[in-house]
Structure 1
Amino acid sequence: MNIVPHHHHSCESFSSKFLQFCMEFHVGQILRSCNTYKMRGFAVMAIFCVALEQAFHRRSFYQRKKDAPESISFERDTFYRFMNSCAIHWRKFTLLLSTAIIRQAIEPLTSKARRNVLIIDDSLLSRNRSKKVELLARVYDHVSGMYVKGFRMLTLSWSDGNTFLPLSHCLLSSSSKQQQLQGASESVDPRSNGGKQRKLAQCKAPEVVLTLLQEAREAGIPAQHVLFDSWFCSPASLHQIHELGYDVIACVKKSEKMHFCFQGRMQDVMAIYRSQKKRRGRSAYLLSVEAEAVKDGKRLPVRLVYVRNKARRGDYLVLVSTDLSLSEEEIIQTYGKRWNIEVFFKMCKSYLKLGKETRAISYDALTAHTSIVFTRYMMLALEQRRNVDERSIGELFFLTIDELEDLRYLDALTMLLKLLMDCAKDTEILDEEQLNQLLDLFLAKLPDLWQRCLKQCA
């Protein structure tokens, strides 16, 4: 995706694009189904659209309202009440919206044989200068190797290998009260959507992942495999996700604590690698073995694929798959789709102002802001698929492909020869007997297989 422009004409064009996007996928109805209603004053869609296009302006909402009051009809308090509402189910909103996009715009143009995947990963949402943000916690930053103040933005997404769409998210605090710098607000009703979201934010990450996957399955998201990095991979998670009806393709952490049953005894992936003979040459993978993930006496057949680490010579990565019908090359290819979520995090933070647009201290406002940023990305991803990707021109694409498939090479050659003979007759260069002699001489020079096929076509 190109960098987001910030000049006036681009802002006007983006406003019209957002309106078309909201009308096409009935965003207003989805908001109402997520408990977003007009109490008094201004319509919900008017406030939502202003929040949606905010990233494409140079100024904040406060500055826009101050410099050009006529451009926004409502006051700041109305906007802040909308963002701070604990009644709106924002996680459900992003899930329903992405489901509508998949079913209406993507699935009709996607082959049934394509492997759609769900991708799980988390990213740091830093609030290092904050003190009073609700549920603020100390979170470990794997990049700097230090603890910082903020949240873990756990994200569930969908991809068909071409288009990436975020499905749901949860801003994780910490399940340990010692790591929490601020607790949850006591004024929020625990029965409300905001109260349930706060409770989910204080659960452990594996529990939240299962909740998000269960919601995606109930929504009918078309996907067969779940991809994630080594931070969540364990025999317990493989069993739990497999029980939900998904197959897992994940990276395994090379640790002495991670064991699989191989050749009748429990071994870690490093011991399995040392005991087996590797493939020679420049193979796509070094080793592939079948093992079992054991948890509480239950055994789940898995395939371990050892792949060269291109970043470190002499090192290797270990992929695990619960789908034994896939070949080693297909496992590696499918897991490669996980990189799309890293690009998504970069896009949201660098261009869509995920961590810079709001300085709110309410957990509801942070959740609302994250969902709005996800909606911006959905619209941009859909625009890219429709306007940049040549494979998604629509019905015209399929009609063209059908015509090319029906017209074989020999049929085309026969048509060209017939056209050449007709042109020679019309110009009276050769008579019919000479044309037949010339055609027979030409066919005699062709291979035997072509001669038989052309005579059948004639």
Structure 2
Amino acid sequence: MLTLGWTDSFSFIPVDFALMNSAKKENRKQEINPNLDKRTSGYKRRLEAIESKLTVVSKLLDHALEKGIIADYVLMDTWFTQAPLIQEITSKGLYVIGMVKQLNQRYLLNGQKLTLDQLYQKAKPHMDKKEILCSVHVSLDNGIPTKILFVRNRNKRSEWLAILSTDTTLSNEEIVRIYGMRWDIEVSKSLLNLGKEFQGRSYDMLISHTTIVLPVIF
């Protein structure tokens, strides 16, 4: 389940969601019933479920913006903090703050394409290195300027985690503070007990149940 929520760091409001299947046909156990009325919300939801997750994230944001929801930042975990989606989101006039994985993605620094490990070696040390270790200003391959912040991994303190921000004017402390708000969405899922409250095999039942349990505003 993809969930879009809004927070001001005090309150959390679920805004929209999508229940996803695999975008690859070979990974799907069941296809859309060809007899399903194509005018129904159920059919449209099923089409949405087999789109790419990055496409659906963009559509959820468009839906929220069209309804007049105002936000400064889109907070994402490592699965979504990728250059194509970052470019899509920034084109909507929003900043991105998200955790990034140590993958093959390269970042441009002084004309060099570097990995996260290489950036960490070149990053400017933070004055208080207890939790925030260092940071560096770079660009993505698509030219978007970003700030990469390295923080200590609380679960394994000998390692670090990397947070990306397209708002390069923010201080290191502010990036950490804002990104910490993303945890509200995980807490809300846990408190609502969406994964354990009931069992069902009907996709329409899952959609209906989630709509009722999440106080979504659409």
Amino acid of the structure 2 residue aligned with 1:357: F
User: 1:283 Cα deviation (Å)?
Assistant: 4.7
In the other structure, the counterpart of 2:156 is 312
Change (3 A) 1:171 1:332: same
Q: Does 1:334 align with 2:178?
A: yes
Q: Aligned equivalents of 1:241 and 1:276: distance in 2?
A: 26
Match of 1:270 among 108, 111, 117: 117
Which of 160, 182, 187 is matched with 1:343 structurally?
Answer: 187
* 2:65 counterpart (217, 220, 229): 217
Aligned to 2:214, the other structure's residue is in SS state helix
Indicate whether 1:372 and 2:212 are aligned: yes
Three-state SS of the structure 1 residue aligned to 2:187 is helix
The one of 172, 175, 194 aligned to 2:23: 175
Structure 1 segment 153-232 matched on structure 2, within 5 A = 153-232=1-80
CA RMSD after TM alignment: 1.8
Any idea what the Cα deviations from partners look like across 1:303-352, whole Å, max 9, x if unmatched?
11111111112111111111122111111100000111111111122xxx
Asked if the contact 1:172/1:202 (under 8 Å) is kept, the reply is yes
Which amino acid counterpart does residue 208 of structure 1 have in structure 2? V
Letter in 2 for 1:271: Q
Q: Distance in 1 between matches of 2:118 and 2:188?
A: 36
Bigger strand share: 2
Of 285, 288, 291, the residue aligned with 2:132 is: 285
Match of residue 323 from structure 1: 167
Give a deviation string over 1:397-438, Cα, whole Å, max 9, x none: xxxxxxxxxxxxxxxxxxxxxxxxxxxxxxxxxxxxxxxxxx
The residue number in structure 2 matching 1:248 is: 96
C-alpha displacement of 1:362: 2.9
- Post-superposition offset of 1:291: 0.6
Alpha carbons of 1:275 and 1:202: their partners in 2 closer, same or farther (altered >3 Å)?
same
- Mapped contact 1:284–1:329 kept (Cα < 8 A): no
In 2, are the aligned partners of 1:358 and 1:369 still within 8 Å (CA)? no
1:191 is displaced (CA, Å) by 3.0
Q: CA deviation at 1:358?
A: 4.9
Bigger RCO (CA 8 Å, 6+ sep): 2
The structure whose Rg is larger is 1
Q: Is the 2:130–2:152 Cα contact (8 Å) retained in structure 1?
A: no
Please report how far the alpha carbon of residue 363 of structure 1 lies from its aligned counterpart in structure 2 after TM superposition: 1.9
Quote the offset at 1:281 in angstroms: 4.9
Q: Does 2:202 align with 1:362?
A: yes
8 Å contact kept, 2:124–2:136 = no
**1:177 positional shift:** 1.8
Distance in 2 (CA, whole Å) between partners of 1:284 and 1:293 is: 25
Aligned ranges for residues 88-99 of structure 1 at < 5 Å? none
SS for the counterpart of 2:43 is helix
Task: Report deviation, 1:280.
Answer: 5.8
Instruction: Write out per-residue CA displacement over residues 357-410 of structure 1, whole angstroms, 9 at most, x where no aligned residue.
Output: 352x332221111100102x99xxxxxxxxxxxxxxxxxxxxxxxxxxxxxxxx
In structure 1, what is the Cα distance between the partners aligned to 2:84 and 2:23? 19
The TM-score with structure 1 as length reference comes to 0.45
Any stretches of 5+ residues in structure 2 without a counterpart?
Answer: none
Distance (Å, rounded) in 2 between the aligned partners of 1:168 and 1:313:
35
Instruction: Answer whether contact 2:20 2:49 (CA < 8 A) is retained.
Output: yes
Q: Which whole-Å CA distance do the structure 2 matches of 1:239 and 1:287 have between them?
A: 25
TM-score by length of 2: 0.93
1:302-451 to 2 correspondences below 5 Å? 302-349=146-193, 354-359=195-200, 361-375=201-215
* Cα distance in 2, alignment partners of residues 200 and 281 from structure 1: 46
Q: Count how many residue pairs are aligned between Structure 1 and Structure 2.
A: 217
Q: Percent identity?
A: 34
Q: Distance in 1 between matches of 2:23 and 2:184?
A: 28
1:356 corresponds to which letter in structure 2?
A: E
